[in-house]
Amino acid sequence: MTHITIIILAAGQGKRMGTQTPKVLNPIAGQSMLAHTLNAAKHTPNAKYILVSPPNQKTITAEAKRVIPHIAIATQTNPKGTAHAVQIALQSTPTPQNKGHILILYGDTPLIQQSTIAKMLQTLNENADCAICAFHEPHAPGYGKLLENAKGETIAIAEDDGSPIPSHLRDTGWKNAGFLAIHAEKLTPLLPKITSDNPQKERYLTDLVALAAARGFSCRRVECEKSESLGANNLAELAQLEAVYQNRLRQKMMRNGVRLTAPDTVHFSFDTRLEKGVSVAPYVVFGRGVRAGQGATIHAFSHIEGAEIAEGAEIGPFARIRPGASIGKEARIGNFVEVKNSALAKGVKASHLAYIGDAEIGAEANIGAGVITCNYDGAEKHKTKIGDSAFVGSNSALIAPVRIGAGAYVGSGSVIEEDVAPDSLALARAKQIVKTGWAAKWRKRRGSA
Ligand code: UD1
Ligand code: MG
């Protein structure tokens, strides 16, 4: 099996886009740009990985190792161009550099897809010496242009740096997406020959194509979507990447049988997992780590993160489901209900205005409007346990740690400090006083009767 070395370049410029975060660590749908690129590459069979990182960037290397634990790190201290970065990567590896295939990706173009990577490597297997990933768009400033000779062979890439295009070559309208795959034994002798003789005074990896063509090596174009080549140098471009990626997620969800009434208004996380038959109303936001089972319904304006929602459960509208929440089968979480770090069993109902935090709630229990689990004493968090089929009346405060037994009733407006035994009634509120005729007398006294 061919050995593959995947090199990810992330040492150039390191623009911060006005945020404190290094450029490649800015998130798209809850995951860093770098992790997106690495995840697209990490399932390549028989591959090893090298990240070219700027010096003293522990956060970047830690993120790379989180996604691919065995990734090697090469440090480029003075970035002198993409060709220089690749050379540094190859020099950093003790294993032979002149065997197998080499694939070069950019840490700042996170939308590359696994299928495109597979196509590029496949192209090398089909007897091409070099594969260049490209999209067709005659006017696309900033991108390298693929140039061909009279025979229609791609024989050079011209960077968009003001250099003139040689008269014997034709601009094809194809643009370099930035990803390149090549046989190692073809790459290693050519790399040192790349100079910095250009307006940017950088050693461009793209000059490799002309050097390869001059030796009669074949460079084939592999088509990708333009979106795969998009990078971000400012916050507006970062938002554009987010928009493209969200759209991909929405399309994938719908292909998998998830009903989205207004797809453009729903925001997913890179790892959102919704089963077939889940229905999502307009204006719903999924943070990281959400799963929902078949037939679950998420009503409008709900915000959900780090939660498991079982089959047939209904959430919202206007629900907030926070990390560690597990919502049981056919449970019902209604408007203005917040659930955090709590397990709600099958059929639990909390239909209006409640806070459920650090709780365990048994099957078919009913949580009335305005119920609060008082889980925090100012220093520590405590648990509330509510048994199966218990009924907690509206506007009750359950001061944790506390247990409400199965089948027990808590009268509305109670402040519960002590455990309630199963099947009993707990009332913890001031007794009502009624003074007959008091109001009429009071009005008379004021002369307003
Ligand atoms: C590059 C391509 C261009 C292509 C475009 C697509 C080159 C010379 N040009 O241009 O043809 O159309 O991508 O996005 O390759 N890097 C290093 N060390 C360096 C220089 C760069 O690690 O010394 C890294 C950068 O961090 C970045 C990547 O390489 O992740 C690409 O470099 P960048 O400067 O963004 O190249 P582009 O101008 O986008
Ligand atoms: Mg770039």
- Which domains, ranges and CATH numbers included, belong to the chain? 4-229 (3.90.550.10), 235-426 (2.160.10.10)
Residue 95 in this model has a pLDDT that exceeds 90: no
At 97, is the pLDDT very low, low, confident or very high (cuts 50, 70, 90)? low
340 ligand 1 Cβ < 6 A: no
What pLDDT, on the 0 to 100 scale, is given for residue 393?
98
**How many angstroms separate the alpha carbon of residue 106 from the centre of ligand 1?**
7
- Give me the phi and psi of 403, to 5 degrees please: -125, 140
- Cα four-point dihedral sign 15, 19, 24, 27: negative
Give the residue-averaged pLDDT of 176-195.
95
What mean pLDDT is reported for the chain? 95
Residue 386 in this model has a pLDDT that exceeds 60: yes
Distance between terminal CA atoms of the chain?
98
Give the residue-averaged pLDDT of 60-86.
96
Q: From the CA of 80, give the closest atom in ligand 1.
A: 23
What pLDDT, on the 0 to 100 scale, is given for residue 17?
67
What pLDDT, on the 0 to 100 scale, is given for residue 18?
66
What pLDDT, on the 0 to 100 scale, is given for residue 233?
85
Question: Which run of H or E residues covers position 298?
Answer: strand 297-298
Name the active-site residue from 36, 183, 303, 352: 352
Cβ(362)–Cβ(378) under 8 Å?
Answer: no
22 ligand 1 Cβ < 6 A: no
293 ligand 1 Cβ < 6 A: no
What pLDDT, on the 0 to 100 scale, is given for residue 449?
57
* 352 classed as catalytic: yes
What pLDDT, on the 0 to 100 scale, is given for residue 22?
87
**How many angstroms separate the alpha carbon of residue 231 from the centre of ligand 2?**
6
Residue 62 in this model has a pLDDT that exceeds 90: yes
54 ligand 1 Cβ < 6 A: no
- Give me the phi and psi of 264, to 5 degrees please: -65, -15
Pair of tokens at residue 122: 């496949």
Please name which of 49, 57, 48, 47 lies closest in space to residue 24, comparing C-alpha atoms.
57
> pTM of the entire structure?
0.92
What pLDDT, on the 0 to 100 scale, is given for residue 308?
98
By the CB criterion, residues less than 5 angstroms from ion ligand 2 are: 231
At 12, is the pLDDT very low, low, confident or very high (cuts 50, 70, 90)? confident
**How many angstroms separate the alpha carbon of residue 82 from the centre of ligand 1?**
6
Lowest-confidence segment of 47-51, 160-164, 209-213 by average pLDDT: 160-164
